[in-house]
Structure 1
Amino acid sequence: MTDPVFEARTHLAPVETLHQVIALLNIPPLEAAALNSGAPPHRQQATIYAALAEWATCSAQAAEQFGGQEHTAGLTTQYAFLIESIDEHATSWWTAPGDGCAAGIEASPDTAETFARIVRERYLQHVADHLDDFDGWLEQEPYLRVSVWDIRRAADGNRHALREGDHPPQTYARVLKASKIAPHAVEIRTPLQVFHQVHARQRS
């Protein structure tokens, strides 16, 4: 009888391929530490395979419970997001966002917390892919902040009814912040984290 572990050993995929599998399976973005980046390749393989196995188990349960349901609008949430480079010495969270910030509106089946992480990871990947455009920004050692609002909840809790349709998608999150409506999730990365995570994406 063939030893299944030995059989699996002969079919191990390289780390680069496993990263592609992570993307294909829509696994929520994983931190470099969670992926064991920087460790020897076989250690990275073991870590990623374990993450894939955990995600596969959860996905199988989700498919069993919800697979027969179509993804209707009721299963997604409209989020407004704002990506800012912030001053660590700023005395107020409510400081008006600068001209260089990015914002938008997007539908997602994820929680606000997960969606904020997705936006943050996507932005850092964009920086890594267009590093020449961000050299000056990185030299300023920026703090990165991603704020996310559940649009329905933000409108329901606001007596002035700042409706999404009254503002362009790229400005709505700014309006919510200017109106001092607290976001439903916030992700912050320090300058050191930004530097390491951007350059880790360059090498992957």
Structure 2
Amino acid sequence: MLAPPRIPGHSSARGLAALVLAMVTALAAATTDARAQSTAPAGQPRPAVTVFQGQAAQLGVKSCAGLIAQLGDSLTQGARFTANTQAQKNAPNDHAVQAVAGLAYDAPGYQGKAAGIVFTAPTRTGCEGNLVRVAPFTQSCRDVVRLLPKGSALTADLSGTPLYTLGGNQGQALLVPSGSACVVVTVASAMASQ
């Protein structure tokens, strides 16, 4: 049974701060390289088989199919996207599964491209997985800090790159200065038991 992870994308829209972490409601259709298609208008539930579930099924993945779908859906929530999922060809249930996604946001407060990676691996008791989202912002990192969820706190300075633990147990965010702009790298993890 999947334990619901607390990861970016699982809460409702919270203005621009939510967009920083891609915590917005589903806005548009999603298509993939695997020719799986999923459409979910805003406010409507997602279809029974999501893009990531469809791709996992095409690759023969069963052991971590639910978690790759859950993380993938969280990663892409609120964006149009194209994804490519890969698994070990000869034993897809015994090895890691990886999905890479290109994201396009067109929402109030944030229009732009982003990218993400979802990675899951089987364990003795189920699956573990991670997601990483990279989103460039035109605002400075100082301005982006003010947009982080309530309760977020500076955790470490990693060679001049601030790492924040996000409020509400929503993962972490690295704020990477890029000239006068800021690249936000969000990371989160989840576990699922059998």
Task: Tell me the TM-score range normalised by the shorter chain.
Answer: under 0.3
Relative to its length, the structure with more helix (as a share) is 1
> Radius of gyration: which is bigger?
1
